[in-house]
């Protein structure tokens, strides 16, 4: 029979079990690993900790503890809770909580993909322990508000995937020499003039500085209207998309000309690669349970085996799905887009041509796509 420990410690919302056990063990002068082994009945680091046993030791009733840490609940325990927008335990998505919010305590919590800014304390939150201040970064704060609006408009998971793809595309452009003027400005605010030297910038500042462009790109990739334009086969749609892209994301982007300036012989424009991969996935979708398609929030109904825990097999130390900028840069330099990695698609050059739908169209299409004529088309606003 387990008895409550003498010192009670309140859990933070979505705190990881490892983080909570450390904070609980410290003031009670016991070894966190031994506490975990006692609760889980196993020496394995990732052994699931039963909610009831944790509640008994922590001296907290099961229900409030389950609301605070639903990631440790079994499917049966979750069915009694009414949860919305709570992060699933996903490899690589355990973030240190904003330090002022956690009153300086070392708290690690499961994060949603938009949990990257603490508005109250104006800090950038990521997997890293450094949390750069955003008081002088209105563009990043504004981008975060836009990000949340996108989620309300298009749904959480479509925007998560759109942002993931957008980050990859934007990093590819940067490596290929397509500059984002705002990025340099924001990096200078973070790191001061001369930030571009080796070792002068930190990955978390890099991530924060790229964020506004990624959100602007995600807006296009998440919108059904703009997806139809870029994924369709009409040149007029492509032109409309490109005009919007240049207006809102990358002023220097040139559709069609850009792949010729690739920095490696086998490197195409990452947006074209994305288009090709996405169109292929429309024809050959991934299986429904593929990790690429899983939601980022806890879905009680979708949880499979009774007795399994929402985060039973995931510890916050494992996995690197949420990558820092430097890692993503390395990954991009090493191979194709994330999407191709996930589905193991063969490498293909962008070589599609739109179908000829009418007499005389090819010439007009070619004329339309001469550089300089791209912007001349009517720029309709998104309905
Ligand atoms: Zn905070």
Lowest-confidence range among 121-125, 126-130, 299-303, 340-344?
340-344
Residue 28 maps to a domain: yes
Residue 158 maps to a domain: no
Q: Has residue 225 got a pLDDT over 50? A: yes
Element (H, E) at 300: none
Q: Cα of 375 to ligand 1 centre, how many Å?
A: 43
Q: What domain range includes position 33?
A: 1-113
Q: What is the pLDDT of residue 314?
A: 58
Structural domain total, the chain: 1
* pTM (global) more than 0.85: no
Q: Cα of 119 to ligand 1 centre, how many Å?
A: 7
Q: What is the pLDDT of residue 254?
A: 81
Lowest-confidence range among 2-16, 142-156, 267-281?
267-281
Residue 179 maps to a domain: no
Lowest-confidence range among 176-190, 210-224, 297-311?
297-311
Q: Cα of 311 to ligand 1 centre, how many Å?
A: 25
Mean pLDDT over 125-130 rounds to 91
Question: Would you tell me how many other CB atoms lie within 10 Å of the CB of residue 121?
Answer: 15
What residue has token string 């998309």? 241
Q: Has residue 345 got a pLDDT over 50? A: no
Cβ partners under 8 Å of residue 165, min gap 6: 218, 221, 274, 337, 338, 339
Q: Cα of 100 to ligand 1 centre, how many Å?
A: 5
Q: How confident is the model at residue 263 (pLDDT cuts 50, 70, 90)?
A: very low
* Residue 117, burial from CB neighbour count under 10 angstroms (0-12, 13-18, 19+): buried
Residue 23 maps to a domain: yes
8 A C-beta contact, residue 269 and residue 259: yes
Each residue of 39-76: pLDDT tens digit? 999 999 889 999 999 999 999 999 999 999 999 999 89
Residues with beta carbon < 5 A to ion ligand 1? 98, 100-101, 118, 120-121
Q: Cα of 101 to ligand 1 centre, how many Å?
A: 4
Residue 108 maps to a domain: yes
Q: Cα of 24 to ligand 1 centre, how many Å?
A: 22
Q: Has residue 375 got a pLDDT over 50? A: no
Lowest-confidence range among 21-30, 216-225, 232-241, 298-307?
298-307
Mean pLDDT over 257-262 rounds to 46
For the chain, what's the residue count? Answer: 383
Q: How confident is the model at residue 313 (pLDDT cuts 50, 70, 90)?
A: very low
Q: Has residue 356 got a pLDDT over 80? A: no
Average pLDDT, the chain: 79
Q: Cα of 94 to ligand 1 centre, how many Å?
A: 16
């Amino acid at each position: 029979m387990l008895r409550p420990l003498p010192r009670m410690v309140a859990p933070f919302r979505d705190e990881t079990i490892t983080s909570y056990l450390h904070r609980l063990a410290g003031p009670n002068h016991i070894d966190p690993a031994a506490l975990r082994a006692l609760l889980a009945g196993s020496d394995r680091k990732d052994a699931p900790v039963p909610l009831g046993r944790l509640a008994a030791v922590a001296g907290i009733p099961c229900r409030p503890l389950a609301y605070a840490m639903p990631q440790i609940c079994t499917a049966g325990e979750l069915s009694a809770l009414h949860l919305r927008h709570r992060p699933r335990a996903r490899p690589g998505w355990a973030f240190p909580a904003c330090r002022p919010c956690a009153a300086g305590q070392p708290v690690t919590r499961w994060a949603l993909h938009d949990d990257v800014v603490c508005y109250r304390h104006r800090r950038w939150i990521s997997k890293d322990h450094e949390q750069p201040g955003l008081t002088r970064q209105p563009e990043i704060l504004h981008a975060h508000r836009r990000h949340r609006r996108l989620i309300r408009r298009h749904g959480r998971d479509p925007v998560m995937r759109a942002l993931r793809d957008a980050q990859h595309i934007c990093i590819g452009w940067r490596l290929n020499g397509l500059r984002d003027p705002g990025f340099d400005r924001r990096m200078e605010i973070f790191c001061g003039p001369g930030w571009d030297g080796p070792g002068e910038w930190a990955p978390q500042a890099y991530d924060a500085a790229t964020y506004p462009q990624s959100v602007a790109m995600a807006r296009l990739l998440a919108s059904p209207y703009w997806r139809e334009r870029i994924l369709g086969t009409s040149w007029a749609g492509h032109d409309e998309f490109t005009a919007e892209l240049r207006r809102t994301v990358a002023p220097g982007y040139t559709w069609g000309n850009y792949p010729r300036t690739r920095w490696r012989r086998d490197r195409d424009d990452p947006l074209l690669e994305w288009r090709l991969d996405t169109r292929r996935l429309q024809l050959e979708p991934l299986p429904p349970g593929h990790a690429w398609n899983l939601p980022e929030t806890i879905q009680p109904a979708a949880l499979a085996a009774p007795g399994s825990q929402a985060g039973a097999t995931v510890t916050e130390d494992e996995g690197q799905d949420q990558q820092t900028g430097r890692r993503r840069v390395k990954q991009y330099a090493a191979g194709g887009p994330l999407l191709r990695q996930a589905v193991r698609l063969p490498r293909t050059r962008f070589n599609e041509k739109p179908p000829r739908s009418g007499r005389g169209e090819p010439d007009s299409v070619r004329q339309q796509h001469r550089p300089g004529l791209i912007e001349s088309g009517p720029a309709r606003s998104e309905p």
